[in-house]
Amino acid sequence: MINKNPIRIFILGGGFGGLYTALQLSRSSWVQSGKCEIAIVERNDHFLFTPLLYELITGELQRWVIAPSYQKLLAQTPVKFCRNTVKHINFNDRQVALENGDQLSYDYLVLGVGTENRWVDIPGLKTHALTFRTLDDVERLQGQIHLLEKSDSRCLRVAVIGGGPSGVELSCKLADRLGQRGEVILIERGTQILKGFSQGVRSASYRALGNRRVQVYLQTNVKAINANSITITRHEQEVIIPIHQVIWVAGTQSIPWITRLGVQYNEQGKILTGSSLQLIDYPNVFALGDIAEIYHSTQTIPNTAQAAYQQANCVAKNLVAILEGKKLKSFRYSHLGDMLTLGKYSAVVSSYFLNIDGLLGFVIRALAYIFRLPTRRHKIQVLRNLLQKVLLKVRWFFRWRLTQFLSQRSAKNY
């Protein structure tokens, strides 16, 4: 029998933290029996598996693989979907105000809205630079690349600002996409790329960048960006470089309404939570993902899908524990390794002192991410598609090797 007044749990944000919390909660007896209702509030109509966003540039994956609709993902679950944008939260009244004027009353709330691009004061940055975080960003970049490829320019010069994982992965993909006509410049103001990553990952990344003729500018500051050039300061010299396109991937920041909630924040503006991921002053509210900082945590929690996935598991279990009157568990992050795509059908996988790169790294990374896709049905569809691509790649490789062998043998006989 369905409870006339079910417990209402609203999850704000349908990214890794929000969606995976909802899916795990949906399997609990509280939700299955109708005692508890779950709804995701998200402004987009599709989920985005961001670690695989780069594969769209080179055509290794299609949009349906990494951006299934919430309607499809939630079709066989009791989770409701509300496509809307959050305007404000009143924690005292337990209400969420939406952009369309609706008010949502909740019993428990999960904040997993993620972050947005962080802009700095560089003249021309917002006007002339593209970003790379959403499907719209990819489509805009694809459009610009298509125009460049159709142009008469012999050299297609693209600058990527930001030497973190996004900058490195995007640079390798762009270099492979543009081919011999391409000239990719990766700009980082620090002394090294991939700060915080292992030496094995950095070494593999430098090799991949070098093999693709990507120029890496370290200790370089961007002074200004114009329609056809970028001004940088490097080695204490100011240089103007002709450029066709600039892409900005140098950091994120909290969404404005997150910073106006009147809760406790750290110095970077992240919401402070207890070890159980509950807000310190509001125990019926949880925060996870990029917007959250665990208070008194002895671990460094990276802003990755891996961390958000683990936090979602913790939040779902703690919500069930609250409903059942049990003790909540503290979040403990377990770093399973790092994975970066380093060009078309190439990646590096680093885990427990083991580093694998190249095509094998690509296969391992792809399989690892496939098994992290939200639903079993979608996993099977994507796995079938990947296996077809890999088999075609292997068949092409052996045909190429056979052709080489026969050519060499023919040359010797001659």
Confidence at residue 384, expressed as pLDDT on a 0 to 100 scale:
85
Give residue for tokens 């958000």: 308
Contact between 41 and 11 under an 8 Å Cβ cutoff? The reply is: yes
Structural domain range at position 176: 125-248
Quick one: 257 and 231 in the same domain?
no
Quick one: 83 and 98 in the same domain?
yes
Quick one: 314 and 380 in the same domain?
no
**CA proximity to 174, closest of 214, 206, 134, 135:** 214
Last residue of a domain, which of 323, 347, 371?
Answer: 323
Q: How many CB atoms lie within 10 A of CB 123?
A: 13
Quick one: 238 and 256 in the same domain?
no
Last residue of a domain, which of 298, 323, 348?
Answer: 323
Confidence at residue 4, expressed as pLDDT on a 0 to 100 scale:
66
Residue 233 included in any domain: yes
Residue ranges of the alpha helices (H) in 61-152? 63-66, 70-73, 125-128, 135-150
Residue 190 included in any domain: yes
- Collect all residues with Cβ–Cβ distance below 8 Å to 152 and sequence separation of at least 6: none
Contact between 280 and 272 under an 8 Å Cβ cutoff? The reply is: yes
SS3 call for 392: helix
Confidence at residue 413, expressed as pLDDT on a 0 to 100 scale:
64
d(CA 332, CA 354): 23
Quick one: 18 and 66 in the same domain?
yes
Q: What is the DSSP letter of 256?
A: G
Number of folded domains in the chain?
3
220, containing H or E segment: strand 220-225
- Collect all residues with Cβ–Cβ distance below 8 Å to 341 and sequence separation of at least 6: 54, 55, 169, 172, 173, 347, 362, 365
Quick one: 188 and 209 in the same domain?
yes
Contact between 231 and 238 under an 8 Å Cβ cutoff? The reply is: yes
Edge-to-edge, what's the strand order for the sheet holding 237-242?
220-225, 229-234, 237-242
Give residue for tokens 């885990």: 351
Residue 328 included in any domain: no
d(CA 33, CA 39): 16
Quick one: 226 and 315 in the same domain?
no
CA 149-152-158 angle, 5° bins? 50
Contact between 385 and 370 under an 8 Å Cβ cutoff? The reply is: no
Query: Cα-atom radius of gyration of the chain, to the nearest Å?
Result: 24
For 356, list phi and psi in degrees, rounded to 5: -125, 130
Q: What is the DSSP letter of 280?
A: S
Quick one: 243 and 256 in the same domain?
no
Quick one: 31 and 63 in the same domain?
yes
CATH number of the domain within which 39 lies: 3.50.50.60
The series of mean pLDDT values per 10 residues for the chain, 414 residues long, is 76 96 95 95 96 94 92 94 96 96 97 92 95 95 96 95 97 97 97 93 96 97 96 94 96 90 91 96 96 86 91 97 96 93 95 89 90 87 80 79 76 63
Residue 332 included in any domain: no
Contact between 102 and 47 under an 8 Å Cβ cutoff? The reply is: no
Residue 119 included in any domain: no
Quick one: 243 and 278 in the same domain?
no
Quick one: 242 and 135 in the same domain?
yes
Quick one: 198 and 265 in the same domain?
no
DSSP 377-405: HHHHHHHHHHHHHHHHHHHHHHHHHHHHH
Residue 396 included in any domain: yes
Last residue of a domain, which of 193, 219, 248?
Answer: 248
Contact between 353 and 181 under an 8 Å Cβ cutoff? The reply is: no
For 329, list phi and psi in degrees, rounded to 5: -105, 150
Burial of 93 (0-12, 13-18, 19+ CB in 10 A): exposed
Contact between 242 and 145 under an 8 Å Cβ cutoff? The reply is: no
Residue type, 53: L
Residue 313 included in any domain: yes
Distance (Å) of CA 66 to CA 37, 213, 302, 366: 27, 29, 22, 12
Residue 330 included in any domain: no
